[in-house]
Amino acid sequence: MKLNGKVAIVTGAGTGIGRACAAIFAAEGAAVVLAGRREEPLREAAEAIRSSGGRALEQPCDVTRAAEVAAAVRRAAAEFGGLHVVVNNAGYWMAASAEETSEEEWDKVMDTNLKGAFLVSKAALPELRRAGGGAIINIGSILSLVGMKRRAAYTASKGGLALLTRAMALDHAAEGIRVNCICPGLVETPLAQQALAQFADPQAELARRVAGIPAGRAGKPEDVARLALFLACDDSSWMTGAVVPLDGGFTAY
């Protein structure tokens, strides 16, 4: 039980990577607040944890709104007695070059992927400090590390998240608050399905992308969740400021 007695908040927790993180944290003993904008998937994910004997509650929360973020953090502390782990997983994806991106679209990507992580972390830091330390885990992307055509806003937001991770790690290391970033490649999530759906033949596009992954397969949400568990628990107690690719070797080229 690597997280026995700990309390975690996971954003974007209704589906995909966020849901997998919440499930594995609960299985390892944590009480988990599942935060997100869509209430039905949150309820389903939280109920699945509770039905397995875990402790979980769902909390509607738009990470771009500071008041909603603060309410989620307060509820975690009030319901479960503190806060020890934060997973900033909420994200928004779009494909466009800089020229094709409207100002409104740029703001939406930045507000969700970068400002959202900032707001959640800012609200959580006092609780992590009161707990004597903790872990913030940012879910970046391989596009935190490399560029890609027609991903201008998304790459900028995820690159910013990687450097926000490092800056915060330096600011809070002496307080026992560790900040790390996981950078997944192609993972089988609803967001990935949305990205593939724009192609005339989504399965052919998936096969093309998988062919470029040295490990020979796309990732699964549980692959990311297991690394998040490592970063959340004491196994990684000397690890902070790391930006870790998790991509089947894609960025090793």
Report the catalytic residues.
Answer: 154
Of 163, 161, 157, the closest CA to residue 107 belongs to 157
Q: What does each C-alpha distance from 132 to 174, 225, 232 come to in angstroms?
A: 11, 24, 14
What's the CA gap between 64 and 54, in Å, rounded? Answer: 28
The set of residues, in sequence order, having a beta carbon less than 8 Å from that of 13 and lying 6+ positions away, is: 19, 21, 22, 32, 34, 35, 36, 42, 45, 89
The set of residues, in sequence order, having a beta carbon less than 8 Å from that of 84 and lying 6+ positions away, is: 3, 6, 7, 8, 30, 128, 131, 133, 134, 135
